[in-house]
Chains A and B, each alone.
Chain A
Amino acid sequence: QVQLVQSGAEVKEPGASVKISCKASGYTFTSYAIHWVRQAPGQRLEWMGWITAVNGNTKSSQQFQGRVTITRDTSATTVYMEMSNLGSEDTAVYYCVRNRGGSGGNINYFDFWGQGTLVTVSS
């Protein structure tokens, strides 16, 4: 069965960086893109960006460009999201999610979600 298992909670000081992992299993890793979505406490879901596992192409929301780096390790079937220069507003649960389909195709949506990783930014 498809699983996305994320790394554990992190506590970081303002200005630091954090790197979260998302281990995929149960499917052909290179056949799907993985997206990152975050949710601040009591707030809405917020799309951050994606990576195509087959070739490592990435796209990020303009809001996060320059601060977020998404990478993957195909041998480990793992995707990483690194965010730099953290501020208190980055305190949130971060989710990885698989994208089934793609633009121009018949389907295009998020089908399987990781369990989420809480990142707390506090001095």
Chain B
Amino acid sequence: QTVVTQEPSFSVSPGGTVTLTCALSSGSVSSSYYPSWYQQTPGQAPRTLIYNMNIRSSGVPDRFSGSILGNKAALTITGAQADDESDYYCVLYMGSGIWVFGGGTKLTVL
């Protein structure tokens, strides 16, 4: 079973830049995995941030960007704000109708 790995936690200062990553237990993430990113605050449903690796969903601020860095999908927040403090999840399409979420990254802004 393929595992999708994210950093369990990350910390960034207000106004700083942070890059969260999403890796496969075997192989490299590419656009064919349709990497997407979701933000979730406690008690709320996830919110779609980025899809198709680097396309921002409607209404998402441009401080959020997606890319491929090396063999991983990446979510970069440039100019972090206090309300960016959330859990962030990536999900990858494995083919044959199967999707796998990463373990999520808890981002602290302080």
Choice from A47, A95, A113, A114 contacting B100 with Cβ under 8 Å: A47
Q: What are the residues of chain A within 8 A of B38 when measuring CB–CB?
A: 45, 110
> Given contacts A44-B89, A45-B46, A115-B45, are A106 and B101 in contact (CB under 8 A)?
no
Instruction: State the CA gap A38–B81 with chains docked (Å).
Output: 28
> Given contacts A44-B104, A110-B38, A111-B57, are A103 and B45 in contact (CB under 8 A)?
no
Is A37 among interface residues, defined by CB-CB distance under 8 A? yes
* B89 & A95 in contact (Cβ 8 Å cutoff): no
* B97 & A50 in contact (Cβ 8 Å cutoff): yes
Contact pattern, A 24-56, Cβ under 8 Å of B = 1, otherwise 0: 000000000001010000001111001000000
Choice from B1, B47, B99, B101 contacting A44 with Cβ under 8 Å: B101
Instruction: State the CA gap A97–B93 with chains docked (Å).
Output: 15
Is B95 among interface residues, defined by CB-CB distance under 8 A? yes
* A61 & B89 in contact (Cβ 8 Å cutoff): no
A:98-118 near B, CB below 8 Å: 100-101, 103, 106-116
Instruction: State the CA gap A116–B46 with chains docked (Å).
Output: 10
Q: Chain A's nearest CB lies how many Å from the CB of B96?
A: 8
> Given contacts A44-B89, A107-B34, A108-B34, are A59 and B52 in contact (CB under 8 A)?
no
Q: What are the residues of chain B within 8 A of A110 when measuring CB–CB?
A: 36, 38, 46, 48, 91
Q: Chain A's nearest CB lies how many Å from the CB of B75?
A: 14
Q: What are the residues of chain B within 8 A of A61 when measuring CB–CB?
A: 98
Q: Which residues of B contact A (CB under 8 A)?
A: 1, 34, 36, 38, 40, 45-48, 51-52, 55, 57, 89, 91, 93, 95-104
12 pairs, CB–CB < 8 Å, chain A vs chain B: A35-B99, A37-B101, A44-B89, A45-B40, A50-B97, A59-B97, A108-B34, A108-B52, A109-B51, A110-B36, A110-B38, A113-B47
Q: Which residues of A contact B (CB under 8 A)?
A: 35, 37, 44-47, 50, 59, 61-62, 95, 97, 100-101, 103, 106-116
Lowest 9 CB-CB distances: which A-B pairs, in order?
Answer: A109-B51, A59-B97, A108-B34, A109-B36, A113-B45, A47-B99, A45-B101, A44-B104, A44-B103
